[in-house]
């Protein structure tokens, strides 16, 4: 296993990556007055309890969980479990469980520690690292949230063996995004290892999860609250969140939407920033190898969402981009591997062409 430190002002924690990392949970919980676990019901059934004797709330994971009702349920659970500010809440599941658990921990008694134990590829390479927590609102994805750094993150790559092919492919969307942001070495590694990743080779999984965590950790340390450089991590996400909003949360897996967003962002970067067509070609090829659509046309066909993913509905979703100014979504584009620009405007004609 590999330990990656994330040192922020007044707070330091470790991200442990590798097969068996979740076995570190009891040690990290030692000394707490109480421990409670928010767990994906399916994960708990497949892999068993993390910490013997801990109060546990099992939930059905998925985007519908990230709601006001879901948040109230977890806060009520924390109260019923008698947690104090010296207690620990463990989020044991994929990105939706981690987002909800982190937000509840940030709010309960004005803040208690959360240990993230992500069990999906998407959560291990992205959602569990960096302290962003949120729930969805009818108006848009992740519009109500907070920054709440975890007490630790345990990325147990052995848990990825039980993911469905669809869940695993969704995670590869975030892997590809992070690789583009990380630079030529990171992108080249993902291209080299994609075949082994699809086969879920343990060494390839650990290598790529570690590489993605290191990229994200470096960005998070430079900008913990997304005031500047951290916005680079939103590559493809402005389009992706509009897709999820228009389709209905949960209809399109997040990583799948990110993959389409990367394809759209690559085309936009060619048109506006002088990005080479080679980068678009490499992005599309990686998405295809990962089993992910790279265009809206392909996405509509795969998911049967022609009536929902209309240009008008997607444009409405873009208007709720939480990172941009009022009515002006912020587009994050890559001019090259490791060369990301933020706040790039897109004219209406180009936007209409991309959303068609």
Q: Which of 32, 47, 231, 254 is catalytic?
A: 254
Q: Which of 24, 66, 234, 282 is catalytic?
A: 234
Cα separation, 84 vs 350, in Å, equals: 52
- Respond yes or no: is residue 141 known to be catalytic: no
Other beta carbons within 10 Å of 126: 27
Nearest Cα residue to 112 out of 26, 33, 22: 33
Q: Which of 214, 230, 231, 320 is catalytic?
A: 230
- Respond yes or no: is residue 230 known to be catalytic: yes
Question: Are 59 and 39 in contact, with CB atoms under 8 Å apart?
Answer: yes
Q: Which of 216, 267, 282, 322 is catalytic?
A: 216
Q: Can you give 300-343 as a three-state secondary structure string?
A: HHHHCCCCCCCHHHHHHHHCCCCCCECCECCEEEEEECCEEEEE
Question: Are 99 and 66 in contact, with CB atoms under 8 Å apart?
Answer: yes
- Respond yes or no: is residue 132 known to be catalytic: yes
Q: Which of 13, 66, 231, 241 is catalytic?
A: 241
Q: Give the end-to-end CA distance of the chain in Å, rounded to a whole number.
A: 46
- Respond yes or no: is residue 254 known to be catalytic: yes
Measured in whole angstroms, how far is the alpha carbon of residue 350 from the centre of its chain?
27
Q: Which of 9, 110, 307, 348 is catalytic?
A: 110
- Respond yes or no: is residue 289 known to be catalytic: no
Q: In a 10 Å sphere around its CB, with 0-12 CB exposed, 13-18 middle and 19+ buried, how is residue 182 labelled?
A: buried
Cα separation, 201 vs 197, in Å, equals: 6
Going by DSSP bridges, is the β-strand pair 88-93/113-118 parallel, antiparallel, or unpaired? Answer: parallel
- Respond yes or no: is residue 330 known to be catalytic: no
- Respond yes or no: is residue 241 known to be catalytic: yes
Q: Which of 63, 226, 244, 330 is catalytic?
A: 226
What tokens does 176 get?
């590809």
- Respond yes or no: is residue 148 known to be catalytic: no
DSSP characters over 209-264: HHHHHHHHHHHHHH-TTSSSGGGGGGTTHHHHHHHHHHH-TTSS-HHHHHHHHHHH
Query: Which distant-in-sequence residues (6+ apart) come within 8 Å of 310 by Cβ?
Result: 246
Q: Which of 13, 66, 132, 282 is catalytic?
A: 132
Q: Which of 14, 63, 174, 330 is catalytic?
A: 174
Cα separation, 38 vs 35, in Å, equals: 10
DSSP characters over 62-105: SGGGSSHHHHHHHHHHHHHTT--TT-EEEEEESHHHHHHHHHHH
Give the residue numbers annotated as catalytic, written as ranges. Answer: 110, 132, 174, 216, 226, 230, 234, 237, 241, 254
């Amino acid at each position: 296993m590999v330990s990656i430190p994330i040192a922020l002002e007044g707070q330091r924690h470790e991200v442990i990556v590798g097969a068996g990392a979740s076995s570190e949970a009891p040690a990290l919980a030692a000394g707490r007055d109480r421990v409670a676990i928010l767990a994906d019901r399916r994960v708990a059934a497949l892999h068993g309890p993390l910490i013997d004797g801990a109060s546990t709330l099992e939930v059905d994971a998925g985007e519908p969980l990230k709601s006001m009702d879901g948040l109230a349920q977890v806060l009520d659970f924390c109260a019923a479990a008698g947690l104090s500010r010296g207690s620990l809440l463990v989020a044991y599941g994929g990105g939706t469980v981690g987002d909800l658990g982190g937000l509840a921990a940030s709010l309960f008694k004005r803040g208690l520690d959360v240990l993230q134990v992500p069990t999906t590829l998407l959560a291990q390479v992205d959602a569990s690292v960096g302290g962003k927590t949120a729930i969805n609102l009818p108006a848009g994805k992740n519009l109500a949230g907070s920054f709440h750094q975890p007490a630790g993150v345990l990325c147990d790559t052995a848990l990825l063996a039980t993911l469905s092919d669809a869940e695993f492919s969704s995670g590869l969307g975030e892997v590809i995004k992070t690789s583009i942001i990380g630079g030529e070495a990171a992108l080249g590694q993902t291209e080299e290892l994609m075949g082994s990743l699809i086969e879920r080779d343990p060494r390839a999984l650990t290598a790529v999860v570690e590489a993605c965590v290191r990229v994200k950790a470096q960005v998070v340390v430079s900008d913990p609250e997304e005031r500047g450089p951290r916005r680079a991590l939103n590559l493809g996400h402005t389009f992706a969140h509009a897709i999820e909003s228009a389709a209905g949360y949960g209809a399109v897996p997040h990583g799948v939407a990110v993959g389409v967003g990367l394809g759209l962002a690559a085309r936009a970067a060619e048109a506006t920033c002088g990005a080479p067509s080679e980068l678009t070609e490499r992005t599309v090829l990686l998405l295809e190898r990962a089993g992910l659509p790279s265009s809206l046309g392909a996405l509509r066909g795969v998911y049967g969402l022609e009536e929902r993913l209309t240009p008008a509905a997607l444009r409405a979703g873009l208007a709720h981009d939480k990172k941009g100014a009022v009515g002006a979504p912020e587009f994050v584009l890559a001019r090259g591997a490791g060369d990301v620009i933020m706040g790039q405007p897109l004219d209406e004609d180009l936007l209409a062409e991309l959303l068609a």
